[in-house]
Structures are given as structure tokens and as C-alpha cells.
Chains A and B, each alone.
Chain A
Amino acid sequence: MDLLIFQVPILMVQASLDGILLGILFALIAYGMALQWGVMNIINIAQGELVILGGYIAYFMYVAGIHPAFGVIVSPIIMYFVGWSLYKTIIFRVVDRDLFISILATFGISILTQQLMNFIFGSDVVVAQSNFGTTFLFNYMVTLPNAKIFAAGVSIIFAIFLVIYMKKSKLGRAIRATAQNARAAKILGVDTERVYAATFGINAALCGVAGSLIAITFTLHPYVGLPYTVRSFMIVIIAGLGNLPGVALSGMGLGVFEEFADYILGTEFRIGSVFLLLVLILVYRRFKLSRKREYLK
């Protein structure tokens, strides 16, 4: 093999570190998806669009002269209300319906958001400069932008904060109760409508955090939302619902996979390899489950 990555093994270190930092970001998005999937039993295809929308908030702060890193505070607040109003207008009509209806409805929202963003923000690829500088490791062989390290750190802080919030607060308890059994929670006086709206809002806020971090570390474009949806879906199905360390680990694994695919197959196949991996994982899962079903028989 005359691939660069095998000739210069230090690139593997580079790819792994990049992948891990990237994967932590993915895990944050996936955490939001797992939350709403577990609580509302909805798969939100518009997840990636919410991420990109959150990213644009950080970008416009950057355009207005504010440091984009503050986006991680502003963006989730705005996105919480975006998510909440999305629930109040559309999602609450599909929560109890057939699963495919919710998938299609969020798919429609995804197209709608994509195109609105394309219209309002323009179809250029944009990036918010953070000017955080770069860290060099191993005698200048491995370069890590500080923005990526910052992004990973912020993601971890938000994830920990959310876990504590879910454990300790009243709303968190209500959300967990609704996830376990919505009917029983309702009988015991939990306002499930409010819980659903809050869950969707929290998910959107997490997307907002992740989006503003993506704005400073990577690039934004109205049409790149769907890969984020698929990545988070993939992470959730590998890890399982409600398995937080699993989400973090499989997020990192996915990040590393992507970086290696980027080096080995070439950048043009990067997104394709992500989608193909999704198909392979689902098919693998199907064969594993079918074997289990045969045991049961």
C-alpha cells in the first residue's frame, strides 16, 4: 500500500486525535437524539438541521463582532425556544401517531429548514474564526487546533451538566419518568405535554451547542445537516438508548473511523463511507437480532 497514512505512521496519531475530538462533538448531538428518542419515541430527521441552525447563530455573532465562542451560551438559549415552538406547532401532532409519520414529518421539517437557511443565510460555505491558535505535539508532527480541544471540552462540560440536571432536577425526574412509562407518569400528575416540549427544547439546545462548536471548528453550509442526523442515529443504535458511556465511546469510534476513511479512501468518499457504515451496521444488527429470534423459537 502506498497510501500516505502507512508511509508516515505519525498521521495515524493525528487522525486518531482528530477523530476523538470530533467524536465527542458527535456524541453530544447523539445524546440529544437519544434523549428525545427515548422519551418521545420520535426519530428527528431534522436533528442535523437544528445543529446547522445553531451553528449559524454563532456565525452571525462572529459577523457582528462578538467572539463566536460565546455562541455556546447564546445558541442553546435561542435553540431551546426554536425546539419548543417546533414541538408546539408540528411535533405534538405526530407524537402518538405511526412512527413513519413522525419520520416523514421531521423529514419535511428538515427540507423546509434546509431551504429556509439556504434562502436567508445564502449557500456559501462559511466558517467563524475563533483565533484560538494551534497546539503542536510530537515535535511539530501532529497539529491540533485549539478550537477543537475547546469544542471537545465544552461538549463534555455540557454533557456532564445535563446528566446531573436529569438526575437532580424536578423536570429531569419528570422526563425520566415519562420515558419509562408515559401513561403512568400522566396518572401520577406529570404534565407529559410539557415534558415532551421541554425534551424537544433540550434536544434543540444541545444541537445549538454542538452547532456553535462546529461553526468554530469546521465549516457550515445549509445542506450538510443530514450527515449529522445519520451520525447521531448511528451512534444511538450502536450504544443503545440510555447508555451514556456507550454514546460517548461510539461517538469517538465513529470520529476515528471517519478520519481514517478520509485518509485511506479520500475526502470525496468521506460522507459516503459514513452512510455506508450506517447501512452495514443496521444489516449486521438485523442478522444478530434474527439469530436471537431463532434462539427464542
Chain B
Amino acid sequence: MIKNKLFIYLLILAFGLAVPYLFPAYKLQISILWILIILSLTWDVQGGQMGYNTFGNILFFGLGMYLCSSIQIGLFFPLAEWTASGGEKTFVHTPTQYFQGFFVGLILAGIIPALVAAFIGYGILGLRGHYFAICTLGLAIAAGEIAGGIELIGAGQGMTSPPWPKGIGDTELRSEFFYYICFALMICTFLFLRWAYQTRFGLVLNAIRDNEDKAEAMGIYTMRYKITGWVVSAFFVGIAGGLMGNMIGYIEPVETAFAGRTFGVYMVIMAILGGKGTLWGPVIGATAFHVFKEGFWTFFLGWQYVALGALIVVVVVFFPEGIMGWLREKYPERFGEVIDEADRKAQVELK
């Protein structure tokens, strides 16, 4: 069994590393797939493991995106002039400046959203059920609206992230560079969460999901664990946002950064499609969703969002357990559940 698992991991690793050479035309698409997997994995920390259904993780995504690009620019040039110049680049990064800015920006794009999550977590994670869901929805949209009003970061028009520096390679190298960083981040997120779910932390999250009051009565400081969970999510989502901003090269407050209508919805639907509350569910869900999206979106031609709305309704109403939940029902033995055959037969007869 363990050998089997290791084999799967190695296969995914080999596939991930080989993609730029196997499918050079789809590098950007697959990089976005890794980002989507990060988003759905981190959403699942709240939505699946902890039972706190958030619409607000997109807040950290946008925050990371703006922070990373602002830092990259602001370290070397005046930010206001950069955004004021719009599409025309008046300043050019040298390669060293670019990479220095990029890594500093990326790290801060993880840390600052994590701090924000810790700061607002105490207030917001105390809410339960639908209050939490709607509060986070409001938070994400408020952030988008406010970012759209700040002149320094380009207001409603948005800003450009720094272009790839000249003199070290063409756009091929650029997309390969971003591809591998996205892939590495995805691996880090996955391994970290895999480790975290095996520790006491994961158990406490599940206890909070099952019955928070009882968990509290057992002497667990649930608030600490809830905040920690959100900080972890915010950290990875923030970095993913910073990467995404650099990769697509243009940041717009409502459409790309605080994109409640696209990524904010995607992360929820991916996790639910794959099966929330499982480690592999979000990964499978994100992959299935992305393949569906990229493969069939073009057939809808403008009706994509209609299809998205319909997909949400269908998945939520008819398929709330997701792919993993369905597999688990079908092959319980594979999930380490012991089935008493006599008991199962008796139940079937009862029905």
C-alpha cells in the first residue's frame, strides 16, 4: 500500500517536472491548474476540515497579488508614477532587481495576508454557520471595492505587474520559470497540509467541524486552532496570488485580484466537486474542474458563467459529497473502512 502511494506521488512529480517539455503549448494552463489546486486545497482547510464555509479566501489572493507587485515595483521605483503611466512602461527592471523584488515580494505576499488573517480572525472566526459565510463574502467584496478606489494602486483601471526583464531569455524561459515556481508551491502546500492533517492540528480541526461546543468543552482552545488554520490558508493563498499577478501581468481589482466571480467561486466549487474534507478531493476536483473548464468552455461561447452557475447548483444539490465521497461509498475497503458483511446484508434487507 505504502509502495503504491509512493509510486503515485513519484508519477505526479515526474509528470509535473516533465510538462514543459511534453506539452510546451499548455504551460500557462497547467501553471494555472497548480494555482487552482492550491486554492482549493487551502479552501478545504476551512470549508472541509473545519466546517467553516468561507467565501473570503479570495481576499488573501488579491492582497497577495497587489502586495507582491507593489513591492516589486516600490522597492526600486516610485509606485504612484508606475501606476499612473498605465500600460506604458516608463521604468525597466534589470534582471537582478526583478528577481530580488520578486522573491521579497513573494515572501511578503505570504506573510502579510497571514498576519491580516490572524488579525481579523479573532473577530470573524467567532461567527458561526451562515453568518460566517456571508461575513466573509462581504469582506471579499468590500476589499475589491476598496481596492478599486485607491489611486496608488491604479484604482479601477488596475496596474501592470513588472514585465519580464530583458536580456536573460525570451518568454519561453519566463513561462517555464513561473511554471516551476507554481508547481513547487503546489507541492509545498500539499505536503504541508498532508503533514498537518496527520497531527493533532488536523484532529482538532475535524473536532471543530463535528461539534465545536463539545470540542471547547473538552478543553481545546478552538479559537487558536481556527485562527492557525486561517493563517495557513492565507499564507499559501497569498503567495499563489502574488505568483498569479506576475504570471498574467495585469492586475485588475474586481476581475483578477479580488475575483469573487471567478477564482472565489472556483475554489469552493472545486473542493466540493472533488469531495470536501479529504486531502485528495480538492486536488481531483481542481483537476476535473480545470479540464472541464478549459476543454468545454469554448463550446459555451459567452455562456461560460451561465454554465458555471448551473454547475454550482447541480453539484451542490445533487452531488454534495463530491468525487471522493462517491468513491468512498462505492469502495469503502480502499479507504480503510472495515465492512461487516452480515451487517450490510441485514441493512439491505431492511430497506
Instruction: Name A residues whose Cβ lies closer than 8 Å to a Cβ of B.
Output: 43, 45, 90, 93-94, 97-101, 103-105, 107-116, 118-119, 226, 230, 233, 237, 266, 268-269, 271-273, 275-276, 278-279, 282-283, 285-287, 290
B129 & A100 in contact (Cβ 8 Å cutoff): yes
A119 & B134 in contact (Cβ 8 Å cutoff): no
Closest residue of chain A to B53 (Cβ to Cβ) is: A100
| Choice from B131, B134, B142 contacting A272 with Cβ under 8 Å | B142
Question: Which chain B positions have C-beta within 8 A of A103?
Answer: 53, 130, 133-134
A111 & B312 in contact (Cβ 8 Å cutoff): yes
- With A and B bound together, what is the CA distance between A266 and B155 in angstroms? 13
Question: Which chain A positions have C-beta within 8 A of B306?
Answer: 112, 115-116, 119
Closest residue of chain A to B149 (Cβ to Cβ) is: A268
B138 & A275 in contact (Cβ 8 Å cutoff): yes
Q: Which of A100, A113, A268 has most chain B Cβ within 10 Å? A: A100
A105-B317, A112-B309, A112-B313 given; name 20 further pairs at CB < 8 Å: A100-B129, A100-B130, A104-B53, A104-B268, A107-B312, A108-B309, A110-B309, A115-B306, A119-B306, A230-B138, A269-B149, A275-B139, A275-B142, A275-B145, A279-B135, A282-B138, A283-B127, A283-B135, A285-B131, A286-B127
| Interface membership of B87, Cβ < 8 A | no
Q: Assuming the A-B contacts A100-B53, A268-B148, are A108 and B313 also in contact, with contact meaning beta carbons closer than 8 angstroms in the complex?
A: yes
| Interface membership of B310, Cβ < 8 A | yes
- With A and B bound together, what is the CA distance between A278 and B141 in angstroms? 11
Chain A nearest CB, measured from B308 CB (Å)? 6
Question: Which chain B positions have C-beta within 8 A of A116?
Answer: 306
Taken residue by residue from 191 to 234, chain B's Cβ proximity to chain A (1 for < 8 Å, 0 otherwise) reads as 00000000000000000000000000000000000000000000
| Interface membership of B126, Cβ < 8 A | yes
Chain A nearest CB, measured from B131 CB (Å)? 6
- With A and B bound together, what is the CA distance between A276 and B120 in angstroms? 13
Number of interface residues of B (CB under 8 A): 41
Q: Assuming the A-B contacts A266-B149, A276-B142, are A111 and B129 also in contact, with contact meaning beta carbons closer than 8 angstroms in the complex?
A: no
A290 & B149 in contact (Cβ 8 Å cutoff): no
In the A-B complex, the 5 residue pairs with the smallest Cβ-Cβ separation, listed nearest first, are A112-B309, A108-B312, A272-B145, A275-B142, A111-B309
Chain A nearest CB, measured from B51 CB (Å)? 9
Taken residue by residue from 45 to 84, chain B's Cβ proximity to chain A (1 for < 8 Å, 0 otherwise) reads as 0000000010100000000000000000000000000000
Q: Assuming the A-B contacts A269-B149, A275-B145, are A282 and B135 also in contact, with contact meaning beta carbons closer than 8 angstroms in the complex?
A: yes
A104 & B126 in contact (Cβ 8 Å cutoff): no
Majority-rule SS of B interface residues: helix
B309 & A115 in contact (Cβ 8 Å cutoff): yes
- With A and B bound together, what is the CA distance between A92 and B275 in angstroms? 23
| Choice from B133, B145, B312 contacting A269 with Cβ under 8 Å | B145
Q: Assuming the A-B contacts A275-B139, A275-B142, are A286 and B130 also in contact, with contact meaning beta carbons closer than 8 angstroms in the complex?
A: no
A279 & B126 in contact (Cβ 8 Å cutoff): no
Question: Which chain B positions have C-beta within 8 A of A110?
Answer: 309
Question: Which chain A positions have C-beta within 8 A of B138?
Answer: 230, 275-276, 278-279, 282
Taken residue by residue from 148 to 185, chain B's Cβ proximity to chain A (1 for < 8 Å, 0 otherwise) reads as 11000001100000000000000000000000000000
Question: Which chain B positions have C-beta within 8 A of A268?
Answer: 145, 148-149, 155-156
| Choice from A109, A119, A290 contacting B313 with Cβ under 8 Å | A109
| Choice from B123, B134, B148, B310 contacting A278 with Cβ under 8 Å | B134
| Choice from A101, A114, A285 contacting B316 with Cβ under 8 Å | A101
- With A and B bound together, what is the CA distance between A195 and B169 in angstroms? 67
Would you mind naming 14 contact pairs between A and B with Cβ atoms under 8 Å apart? A43-B130, A109-B313, A111-B308, A112-B312, A269-B146, A272-B141, A272-B144, A275-B139, A276-B146, A278-B134, A279-B135, A282-B124, A283-B126, A285-B131
